[in-house]
Amino acid sequence: MKWGMVIDLQKCTGCGECAAACKMENNVAIVEQKESEMGRTMLWMDMLTIYEGEYPRLRVRQIPRPCMHCDHPPCTKVCPVRATYINEEGIVAQIYPQCIGCRYCMAACPYTVKSFNWYKPEWPPGMARATNPDVSVRPVGVVEKCTFCVHRLQKAKEQAKFEARDLREGDFQPACADCCPTGAIVFGDLENRDHQVNHLAHSPRAEKLLEDLGTEPKVIYLKEVD
């Protein structure tokens, strides 16, 4: 089993719904504007602004960027305390109580996907009560990033076990895939031939970010063809 994600850029409108859903789902802290301007915005799912071509044929677009969940993650190699590691289902996971906050993984990640809790995470009044009880709130001084909503996987597994059946394709979907209004984000098991991602990953349009680094990302983009 190898969880992976396909993002169809033909369908993606760049609305940012995935980024918002992710932020709410995973209790990602909302930093003050001053902090945000310093570059301390915390987004597990970020929107990358890509400029293509030059004026007057310039094209600007926004593409979603979760953690790539590499098969050869540069971040787990350098972690001195196993606070980040790749599990047997291919998810590059974070163990917050283990992290010493050295930020080596952030420096080593070629996709720059990790966020750091520079201060104790805080929410505006009222929003604190809206946090998701399934996801731990991180303490100050640790690194965090997209986990492919691993808490949802745990829930789905429990449910499947309770119903004495195997995990079905739609059982486990991360928040971003769930919320995408155009269905551009497809999630599933890359090794399972019955799953949609398996087909899409072999599409001629499929490409990976910074593929030449040999990190083997499990987030696959389907490029636009006009």
Partner 1 sequence: MEHASARPHPDAALLNPIENPGRMYYYIVVGLLVIILYTGFVYIRQLWFGLGVTGMAQPVTWGFYIINFVFFIGISHAGTLISAILRLSKAEWRRPITRMAEVITAIVLAIGGLHPIIDLGRPDRISHLFFNGRLQSPLLWDVASITAYFTASTIYLYIPLIPDIAILRDRGVKPRWLYEFLSWGWQGTERQHKVLDRAMNILMVMVIPIAVSVHTIISYIFAMTVQPGWHSTIFGPYFVVGAIFSGIAAILVLMIVFRKVFHLEGYLKHIHFNYLSILLLIMSLIWFYFTFSEYLTGYYGHEPNEMRVFWYKFSGDFAPYFWAMIICNFALPVAILCNRKTRTIPGILIASLSVVVGMWMERLIIVVPSLANPRLPYPTGIYIPSHTEWMLFIGGISVFILGYMIFARFFPVISIWEIEEGRHESAKIVTERIASYMPDPEPSTAGE
Q: Please, are residues 85 and 13 in contact by the beta-carbon 8 Å criterion?
A: no
Between 78 and 135, whose beta carbon lies closer to partner 1?
A: 78
DSSP assignment, residue 126? T
Between 10 and 98, whose beta carbon lies closer to partner 1?
A: 98
Interface positions, 45-104, toward partner 1 (CB under 8 A): 46, 48-51, 65, 74, 77-82, 98-104
Q: Please, are residues 13 and 105 in contact by the beta-carbon 8 Å criterion?
A: no
| Nearest to 74, CA basis, from 189, 210, 207, 202 | 210
107 binds partner 1 (CB under 8 A): yes
Phi, psi angles (nearest 5°) of residue 5: -135, 140
Give the shortest CB-49-to-partner 1 separation in angstroms.
6
Contact range with partner 1 by CB under 8 A, out of 115-123, 177-185, 193-201, 216-224 = 115-123
Residue 137 in 3-state DSSP? Answer: coil
Give the shortest CB-142-to-partner 1 separation in angstroms.
6
| Nearest to 106, CA basis, from 66, 74, 147, 70 | 74
By CB under 8 A, name the binding residues for partner 1.
Answer: 35, 37-41, 46, 48-51, 65, 74, 77-82, 98-104, 106-108, 110-112, 115-120, 139-143, 209-210, 213
